Amino acid sequence: MTEFGRVLTAMVTPFDDSGAVDYERAKELATALLDSGSDGLVLAGTTGESPTLSSDEKLRLFREVRSAIGRRGTIVAGTCNYNTAESIELSREAAREGVDGILGTVPYYNKPPQDGLYAHFRTIAEAVDLPMILYNVPSRTVTNMLPETTIRLSAIDNIVGVKEASGNFDAVATIIEESRPGFRVWSGDDIATLPILALGGYGIISVASHLVGQQIQEMIRHHLEGRPDQAASVHRRLRPFFNSLFVTTNPIPLKYALGRVGFPVGRPRLPLVECDEKSAATVDAELQRATIDLRIATPA
């Protein structure tokens, strides 16, 4: 099985002043993230503003980032949406660009029942020769993938794990307990990483690792090596920073924060907007307290 790593960064998509994807900046950011605590990257996910990226932009992003990082880190491609056939097509094209896996986001808008979710993901997995990490994020998709559906899907060989952002720790515990051996659970919320690790989870697909990736790795290492007090201490220290990055819709605060620390990545694309003054003040206050791990690079 592909070892995706315990800390995967859900990478922002940089845009230039005209609103076009800034592929050179994306390559710089991907390299900097791997230098500052990330084991791998999730491209064109929620944080990467996938709804506003065209298929051509996504495929070029996968290709450019792979060219920049080589095999230093893994790439999980956000290729799945509410259209099963389209998800298969984009996933197959992403495989040709050299990605290591795909992110299976629960379909949004059309609200499939649980049997529909199972059939959707099974059909994609059987059609695409790549590992899949499922992504349950009901705050975004409305539909919540129930534990029993995830457990059923875990029996499919190339469905290797789930990014769980439901906030339901009982559901997470059930998935960990009843899924096939080796099926992994990554937290989908930075604030929930340590609790999910305590339940037997594997890692985090993170927003905050753009800026504090080494410290997140430190927290996970303390947990794995039997130092719960130290792990909890890191979690408590980072908790306000984690929360500040979600003071308004992600990735608005994150893009603002990256600019503030000297690694600008452009504005979000509409319908997302720039950070409002109140949210910016919250982020600024936490940036002043935080130790930033990101290797800062200035635009060429």
**Residue 98, in any domain of the structure:** yes
What six digits make up the tokens of 227? 């130092």
Which CATH number goes with the domain that contains 216?
A: 3.20.20.70
Residue 298, pLDDT > 70, answer no
**Residue 299, in any domain of the structure:** no
Between vectors from CA 134 to CA 232 and to CA 161, what angle results, nearest 5°? 60
Q: Helix (H, G, I), strand (E, B), or coil: what is residue 103?
A: strand
Amino acid 299: pLDDT = 45
Distance between start and end Cα atoms, the chain: 38
Residue 300, pLDDT > 60, answer no
Q: Tell me the pLDDT tens digit for each residue of 151-172.
A: 999 999 999 999 999 999 999 9
Place of tokens 């515990």: 173
**Residue 46, in any domain of the structure:** yes
Q: What does DSSP assign to residue 246?
A: T
**Residue 109, in any domain of the structure:** yes
For the stretch 278-281, contacts whose Cβ atoms lie closer than 8 Å and that sit 24 or more positions apart, written own/partner, are 279/247, 279/248, 279/252, 279/253, 280/253, 280/256
* Overall average pLDDT of the 169-197 stretch: 98
**Residue 82, in any domain of the structure:** yes
Identify the sign of the CA torsion 39, 220, 256, 50. positive
Counting every residue written for the chain, the total comes to: 300
**Residue 274, in any domain of the structure:** no
Calpha distance 246→116 (Å, rounded): 31
Place of tokens 């409002």: 276
Q: Tell me the pLDDT tens digit for each residue of 228-283.
A: 999 999 999 999 999 999 999 999 999 999 999 999 999 999 999 999 999 999 99
Calpha distance 3→213 (Å, rounded): 18
**Residue 99, in any domain of the structure:** yes
**Residue 259, in any domain of the structure:** no
Residue 174's domain comprises: 7-225
What six digits make up the tokens of 239? 């908790």
Q: Which residues are catalytic?
A: 135, 163
> How many structural domains comprise the chain?
1
Q: Is residue 197 a contact partner of residue 223, using CB atoms and an 8 Å limit?
A: yes
